[in-house]
Amino acid sequence: MPLLVREARPDDLEGLRAFAGRCSPETLHRRFHGVGSRTVERELRRVAVPTPNYRSWVAVDDGGNLRGTATLARSRSGAAEAALLVEDAWFRRGAGRALVAELGAHARRRGLDPIVARVQADNERALRFLRAVVPGARIRFDGAGELEVRVLVGHEARTREAA
């Protein structure tokens, strides 16, 4: 089934809620690092209403259902931080790959380099996915049971590939 990846918008909020409802408790725990339903709702609202420092994309199937979301946000330190959530039934069907490609394209256009993501250290599924989709990613232990995944997307990445 083909997917369309586009920027999230305010009228996506109900679809985002339905999408989150189709995600397993483990998947939500992995994405939100174990926080409660209030935090999930707050994050869904942020996804639906982009700001200059917080932009999200959704993967939509041909029936209009949201199947995944990706966010790129500026942290307090100024880093470009990425987050990804894909509905369980859509694992290994291209949604995550399409969303990561859109994040990378946006980061290159905006000169955001590198992109950083935080992954729970025992999240083998996410680590295998990231290694497959962004083979040049640097992964290091960041404390508190998390790994920092650093992806070069711009000039520095091209320089490294040429070396």
pLDDT digits over 85-128, tens only?
999 999 999 999 999 999 999 999 988 889 999 999 999 999 99
24 CB burial (10 A radius; 0-12, 13-18, 19+): exposed
pLDDT tens-digit map of 10-46: 999 999 999 999 999 999 989 987 667 788 999 999 9
pLDDT tens-digit map of 43-80: 999 999 999 899 999 999 999 999 999 999 988 888 89
Residue 1: band (very low, low, confident or very high) from pLDDT cuts 50, 70, 90: low
Residue 142: band (very low, low, confident or very high) from pLDDT cuts 50, 70, 90: confident
What pLDDT was estimated at residue 163? 44
Do you find a cis peptide bond into 114, omega within 30 degrees of 0?
Answer: yes
Q: In sequence order, which residues have a C-beta less than 8 Å from that of residue 98 and are 6 or more positions away?
A: 3, 5, 59, 68
> Is 136 within 8 Å of 128 (Cβ atoms)?
no
Round to whole Å and give the CA distance between 101 and 70.
10
Round to whole Å and give the CA distance between 94 and 15.
19
Round to whole Å and give the CA distance between 68 and 3.
10
77-114 burial, b for 16+ CB within 10 Å, e for fewer?
eeebbbbbbbbeebeebbbbbbbbbbbbebbbeeebeb
pTM for this one? 0.87
> Is 19 within 8 Å of 47 (Cβ atoms)?
no
Tokens of 159: 């320089």
> Is 57 within 8 Å of 5 (Cβ atoms)?
yes
What pLDDT was estimated at residue 35? 65
- DSSP-assigned beta bridge partners for residue 60: 4, 66
Q: Quick check: helix, strand or coil at residue 53?
A: coil
Please give the angle made by the CA atoms of 39, 56 and 68, to the nearest 5 degrees: 80
What pLDDT was estimated at residue 113? 85
